[in-house]
Amino acid sequence: MPIKHIFVIGAGTMGNGIAQVAATSGYEVTCMDVQPAALEKAKAAIAKSTSKLLEKGTITQTGKDSADAIQFVSDMSTMKDADFVIEAATENPELKFKIFKDMDANAREGVILASNTSSISITKIAAQTNRP
């Protein structure tokens, strides 16, 4: 299955960075966070960053337009159309385990579920799903 739509869970520094890079690389992107303030902050950070990158010639207008088209949502159920789902939540095992259970319940079969963890066992995270 080709990857066209990336769903990022967590709109903090890592999450909005992942969303920005994915969008400017040509992917359709949805960024999800349960905190509306985090979504607004991410939207502003991405707009500011991509404007600077466009000025420097690092990205094209098409890349900027793609970043401007990122969808910001607070509901995980909207991931059903995604081809790739990555979480970039706080490094808290219980939180990541819950997110992965929710990802497993909401993502289509065959969709790649990924984590941006830096310290939590990926085996323990994967064990929260019914996927290989």
Q: What is the pLDDT of residue 107?
A: 97
**For residues 105-109, average pLDDT:** 95
Domains of the chain in start order, with CATH, are 5-126 (3.40.50.720)
Long-range contacts (CB closer than 8 Å, 24 or more residues apart) made by 11-18: 11/35, 11/38, 11/39, 11/41, 11/42, 11/72, 12/38, 12/42, 12/88, 12/89, 12/90, 14/88, 14/116, 15/42, 15/88, 15/89, 15/116, 16/41, 16/42, 16/45, 16/46, 18/86, 18/88, 18/116
What is the rounded average pLDDT for all residues in the chain? 96
Q: Is the pLDDT of residue 103 over 80?
A: yes
